[in-house]
């Protein structure tokens, strides 16, 4: 493998020993170091207090129990959307519709919770409604891709805007309480609020459910007959079709399953974070899930780690806007540079694993 690793040594039985290419490692280290220096330079130019900004960026997410809880909550939402995107990408569908599916899932869950009120069945039925809403919203571009060969990037992106505006419209026209000062729904019954465990910090239950969702998606893709068929479609549709697989149906199944997981994100935000519907709640979480999935090399089992890493940087970035008066645009650039370094490390590890083959 040129430029990455050098296959060296002598065959012993059926294994091939792989030795690292030190020059590649040096180049990688230099790139990460360069990114770090650029981060420091930007902070020196824009921050009122550079040491405090560096400390806030690197340790802000664990600087207090409240900030740690904020980091874990946001990371749990990223895990849901990251797992959703992984499911679609592994089937060869570059769907970026998780953003809209989150809004539809939140809206469906909120409507059910408000309609049922204080009922023991409110939370489970609302969660099912969130999954169903996301699945139905994802089924539309899946159907267009499978039977009309419509570009899934265009259709999912356009449906994101439809979902966002439909979410706002329903809140303003149907769910807005009398006397509300801004567009929100009424609070859900406390029986539907997702609990947290502990206090220093509080561990959100959504984190456990998100990790479980990643495990389920990983098992589905890698340990089931359906997952094998879905991956076969992603690897080669003509080959899958030649083997008698219903390619069109499997594409629709992939979209529906991906949308259901994304819809659960909306329920997690509504019942674990805002406790009511708010226009703009969770905005951007679907697109950030794409980044989390790419960092995880489209492996759902790695999504919890990359979501925690991204959420850590994002929380630190929000903190330095306050402590160091760093502009939001600069914070986004800083996060991007650090993510590039993280992605380089993950890609190098993936390349090394790919070369360790057996015969």
Asked whether residue 144 is assigned to any structural domain, the reply reads: yes
Task: Answer with the residue of higher pLDDT: 41 or 184.
Answer: 184
Mean pLDDT over residues 95-112, rounded? 95
Question: Is 255 within a domain?
Answer: yes
The pLDDT score that the predictor gives to residue 27 is 62
Structural tokens at position 199 = 């206090």
For residues 32-51, average pLDDT? 75
Per-residue model confidence (pLDDT) at position 2: 37
pLDDT at 141 over 50: yes
pLDDT at position 166 over 90: yes
* pLDDT value at residue 8: 37
**For residue 223, is it within any domain?**
yes
User: Does the residue 312 lie in any domain?
Assistant: no
Look at the chain and report how many structural domains it folds into: 1
- Give the pLDDT confidence of 269-326 residue by residue, as tens digits: 999 999 999 998 988 899 999 989 988 888 999 999 999 988 988 888 888 888 777 7
Average pLDDT estimate for 192-196: 91
| Average pLDDT estimate for 94-98 | 91
Structural domain containing residue 180: 65-288
pLDDT at residue 22, rounded to an integer? 57
Does residue 163 belong to any structural domain of this protein?
A: yes
Q: What is the mean pLDDT of the chain?
A: 84
Q: Assess if residue 272 is contained within a domain.
A: yes
Reported pTM: 0.84
> What pLDDT is attached to residue 325?
77
Q: What is the pLDDT of residues 12-23, one digit of tens each?
A: 333 334 445 556
Determine the Cα angle at 298 with ends 294 and 301, to 5°: 115
320 within domain boundaries = no
* Residue 346 confidence (pLDDT): 59
């Amino acid at each position: 493998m040129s430029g990455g690793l050098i296959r060296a040594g002598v065959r012993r039985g059926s294994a091939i020993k792989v030795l690292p290419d030190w020059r590649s490692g040096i180049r990688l280290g230099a790139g990460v170091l360069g990114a770090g220096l650029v981060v420091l330079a930007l902070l020196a130019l824009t921050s009122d207090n550079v040491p405090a900004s560096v400390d806030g960026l690197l340790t802000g997410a664990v600087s207090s129990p409240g900030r740690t809880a904020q980091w874990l909550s946001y990371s749990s939402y990223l895990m849901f959307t990251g797992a959703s995107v992984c499911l679609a990408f592994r089937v060869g569908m570059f769907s970026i519709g998780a953003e809209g599916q989150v809004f539809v899932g939140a809206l469906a869950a909120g409507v059910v919770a408000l309609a049922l009120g204080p009922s023991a069945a409110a939370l489970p039925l609302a969660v099912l409604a969130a999954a169903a809403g996301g699945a139905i919203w994802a089924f539309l571009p899946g159907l267009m891709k499978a039977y009309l060969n419509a570009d899934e990037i265009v259709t999912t992106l356009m449906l994101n805007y439809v979902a966002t505006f439909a979410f706002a419209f329903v809140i303003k026209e149907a769910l807005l309480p009398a006397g509300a000062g801004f567009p929100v729904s009424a609070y859900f019954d406390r029986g539907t609020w997702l609990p947290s465990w502990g206090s220093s910090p509080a561990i959100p239950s959504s984190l456990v459910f998100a990790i479980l969702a990643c495990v389920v998606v990983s098992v589905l893709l890698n340990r089931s007959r359906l997952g094998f068929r879905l991956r076969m479609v992603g690897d080669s549709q003509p080959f899958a079709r030649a083997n008698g697989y219903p390619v069109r149906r499997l594409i629709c199944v992939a979209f529906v399953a991906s949308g259901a997981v994304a819809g659960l994100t909306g329920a997690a935000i509504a019942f674990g974070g805002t406790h009511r519907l708010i226009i703009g709640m969770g905005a951007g979480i679907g697109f950030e899930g794409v980044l989390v999935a790419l960092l995880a090399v489209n492996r759902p089992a790695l999504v919890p780690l990359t979501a925690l890493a991204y959420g850590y940087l994002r929380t630190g970035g929000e903190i330095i806007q306050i402590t160091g008066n760093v502009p939001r645009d600069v914070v986004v650039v800083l996060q991007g540079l650090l993510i590039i370094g993280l992605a380089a490390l993950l890609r190098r590890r993936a390349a090394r694993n790919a070369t360790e083959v057996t015969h």
